[in-house]
Amino acid sequence: MKLSISIFLFLAFVWSGCDSLEDKKGRFLLKGNEKMEENDPKTAIGFYQEAIALDSTYSDAYYNKAMAHLRLNQLEEAIGDLSKSIQFRPDYFEAIFQRGICYLDNGEFYKAREDAERLLKLNSENWKSHFLNGLAQEKLKNYPAALEAFESAAVLEPSNSDLLVNQATILFYQKQFEKAKSILDQAEKINPGEPNLHNLRSMIFFEEGDYQLALDAVEKAITLDNRQAYFYNNKGLYLLFLDQKEEGLNLINQSIQMDPKNPFALRNKGIYYVMMGDKVSALSYLSDLAKNYPDMELVKEYLEKAQAL
């Protein structure tokens, strides 16, 4: 059970004219942007680097180069370029926001919170300042602060259904299921095609013990977005509890192939082996999870069941 974090990619644009230094570096920037539009980030990086060679303090070129690195899943390189961009332009709001998102994806939650605090000082009227703060506080498990931040973001950007889903997620963590479902209903009115709201709703139904409703909801999420490993993992879990164990295991394995690092999928395999009475296999999954993720839902319960087999 995992919720994704979306990375917003924006490019900086500069108009170029004749032959001055500004014009030359601007042309390299625009050539890089054209390559990004052609989905060729490797070539784009070369053009951005040419612009930087002309002006080592060119914040927009560092920023766009970072966006190209993100397209290539080069997170450390993106963070480095964003930091350069901010060094030469300390009030570069979008660069700070993107770096905060990158820090979250890189597991550097305190640094992400620092960037959120910086954005709040720069512009507390921009919803992204509160959004990044909410994401960082969520990762740090400061749930009341995260909820407050997402609420503030939603006030500033009421048409953004994701901000409501974020609020519902925090309420889910706090076991406030009725409030979470109510907010998800609001989000669905704004954007019924948001897959994460249906996935979260499925997780709430599962916690409430209504496995068929959970299955129906996650299937809707998969219909809307069939690329998310954790949707298949959740569907597999629900099928285990609906006594469709082999079909459930197949989906859990599919999820692991898509995302081998998701510990919830490994937990679900452990649950499967407990249900099948295979003590050795169950313990091989659940024992390590109990050490590394002691607070993960169902791990302690099914580890005890495995030990009792």
pTM of the complete model? 0.87
Tokens 């954005």: give the residue.
119
CA 243 to mean position of chain CA atoms = 31
pLDDT of 186: 97
Between the alpha carbon of residue 253 and those of residues 18, 185, 235, the distances in Å are 58, 32, 11
Q: Exposed, middle or buried: residue 110 (CB in 10 Å: 0-12, 13-18, 19+)?
A: exposed
Torsion of CA 164, 165, 167, 168, to 10 degrees: 120
pLDDT of 21: 79
Model confidence pLDDT, tens digit, residues 246-297: 999 999 999 999 998 899 999 999 999 999 999 999 999 999 999 999 999 9
Buried b / exposed e over 208-241, threshold 16 CB at 10 Å, is eeebebbbebbebbbebeeebbbbbbbbbbbbbb
Residues contacting 148, CB < 8 A, separation 6+: 134
* Summary mean pLDDT of the chain: 93
pLDDT of 115: 98
Q: How far apart are the C-alpha atoms of 115 and 142, rounded to whole Å?
A: 16
Q: Using alpha carbons only, what angle is made at residue 307 by residues 269 and 237, rounded to the nearest 5 degrees?
A: 25
Show the low-confidence residues of the chain (pLDDT under 50).
Answer: 1-7, 16-18
Tokens 């784009």: give the residue.
44
Q: How far apart are the C-alpha atoms of 264 and 262, rounded to whole Å?
A: 5
pLDDT of 20: 80
Set out the domains of the chain in order of their start, with CATH numbers. Answer: 17-90 (1.25.40.10)
pLDDT of 9: 57
Contact by Cβ (8 Å): 152, 130: yes
Model confidence pLDDT, tens digit, residues 3-28: 444 445 566 655 544 468 788 899 99
pLDDT of 269: 97
Torsion of CA 207, 211, 213, 218, to 10 degrees: 80
